Amino acid sequence: MSAEPAGSGAGRTVLVTGATSGIGWYAARDLAAAGARVLLGARDADRGRRAADAVRARVPGADVAVVVLDLADLRSVVRGAAEVADAGPLHAVLANAGVTGTDGRRTSPQGHELMLATNHLGHAALVGLLLPALVDGGRGSTEAGHGPARVVGAGSIAHRFVRPPADEDGWQSREDFASFRAYCRSKLAVLLHAAELDRRLSAAGLPVRALAFSPGFAVDLLDTADPQPLARGGPPGPLVRRALGPPARLLRRADLLQGKADGARPAVAAVLGPSATRPSGGAAVAHVGPRGPAALAGLPAVLPTATTVADRAAAQRLWDLTDALVRPVTGAGPGPADAPAGSVGP
């Protein structure tokens, strides 16, 4: 099912995590251009200020502000959430920040495997702390005809390559760490959690929906029109562009590769698109991504997810584990406490 073009963001406040480069920066730019007030989550205040200045340079009159927020550290999440909550009603969280790989198993300040901590646990804790602000935003947004507030997780086609681990050791990759496998597990966690969160929000009658997006196969090389200002290592040099540009452009024409600016379009559609919260037929949660072959590139569409995302028993186990890992530090769980009737089963 195709997703309509993203609508207006006027009157809405959106928090974008990981907003200093890559998908997050392009999404922040485009949300600001759509009229939204954008809070740029950044681990480093200086990088955040430079990213905000870069958005303002491209979007005259952009309403952007910086929130210092390190998703790997739950104590930073608590501080950042308090700052966001003080800013008033919140209409969406684009939970984009992430770690894509590590050289050996690394852990967060709380001792959790780094990709699970950043990609899943930190965002789950953040949303739990911001739920009152999201409910306030959702009520106002619904009254204005924009529909409920949204929590948009950063999924990936990588969620298809693993199955839900049976216990915490599996999710934390304590005995079988391999960087790509741990990354895939973290992305499956994002989608399982989004499905369970959405069920609980709906059962509680709250004006908030949870869904996910995938950027597809997105690379800096193709971002020639507006290179991201704070990309690690800077934009590809002229020799790299001459050598790799032609085959990359060929892959883009075949919808097998796209730039990160294009990869941000599903994120923006998930935040603002009118139909983005309606899952693909039979899917456990809405997942907006590129509609090209293998969901690698192309215009945004609402895509199916792997059958593992519909495993409600696995989602419940992950929810309970997430609650046990974040609550001692944050003082709050990841969302509504009570599971919807019938939501847990084989």
* Mean pLDDT, rounded, of the chain: 90
Confidence class of residue 345 from pLDDT cuts 50, 70 and 90? Answer: very low
User: In terms of pLDDT, which residue wins out, 345 or 235?
Assistant: 235
Query: Does residue 121 surpass a pLDDT of 70?
Result: yes
Query: Does residue 167 surpass a pLDDT of 50?
Result: yes
| Three-state SS sequence of 122-141 | HHHHHHHHHHHHHHHHHHHH
| Active-site annotation holder among 25, 26, 183, 213 | 183
Residue 118, amino acid:
T
- Distance in angstroms (rounded) separating the CA atoms of residues 61 and 294: 38
Helix (H) or strand (E) holding 66: strand 63-68
Q: Which of 109, 110, 112 is nearest to 168 (CA)?
A: 112
For 20-24, 261-265, 279-283, which range has the lowest pLDDT when averaged over its residues?
279-283
CA geometry: angle at 133 spanning 128 and 139, to 5°?
120
- Distance in angstroms (rounded) separating the CA atoms of residues 282 and 35: 33
Query: Does residue 71 surpass a pLDDT of 60?
Result: yes
Give the pLDDT of residue 239. Answer: 59
Highest mean pLDDT: which range of 127-131, 154-158, 292-296 = 127-131
pLDDT tens digits for range 205-241: 999 999 999 999 887 766 767 777 776 656 666 655 5
Q: How far is CA 280 from the centre of its chain?
A: 19
79-92 mean pLDDT: 97
Which superfamily does CATH assign the domain made up of 13-330 to? NAD(P)-binding Rossmann-like Domain (3.40.50.720)
Query: Does residue 298 surpass a pLDDT of 70?
Result: yes
In 3-state terms, the chain is what percent helix, strand and coil (to 5)?
A: 45, 15, 40
Query: Does residue 111 surpass a pLDDT of 90?
Result: yes
Q: Specify which residues 14 forms β-bridges with.
A: 38, 92
Query: Does residue 105 surpass a pLDDT of 70?
Result: yes
- Distance in angstroms (rounded) separating the CA atoms of residues 219 and 261: 9
What would the two tokens of residue 198 be? 């959405």
Q: Is the pTM of this model over 0.85?
A: yes
Greatest Cα-to-Cα distance within the chain, rounded to the nearest angstrom:
59
Q: Which of 3, 49, 58, 66 is nearest to 26 (CA)?
A: 58
- Distance in angstroms (rounded) separating the CA atoms of residues 35 and 31: 7
DSSP 8-state symbol, 211: E
CB 117 within 8 A of CB 107: yes
Mark whether 26 is an active-site residue. Answer: no
Query: Does residue 339 surpass a pLDDT of 70?
Result: no
Give the pLDDT of residue 221. Answer: 63
Q: How many CA atoms lie within 13 A of 284 on its CB side?
A: 24
Residue 289, amino acid:
G
- Distance in angstroms (rounded) separating the CA atoms of residues 31 and 201: 25
CB 105 within 8 A of CB 307: no
Contacting residues for 235 by C-beta, under 8 A, at least 6 apart: 220, 223, 227, 228
**Which residue bears the tokens 């684009």?**
94
- Distance in angstroms (rounded) separating the CA atoms of residues 100 and 68: 21
Helix (H) or strand (E) holding 309: none
pLDDT tens digits for range 184-197: 999 999 999 999 99
Query: Does residue 343 surpass a pLDDT of 60?
Result: no
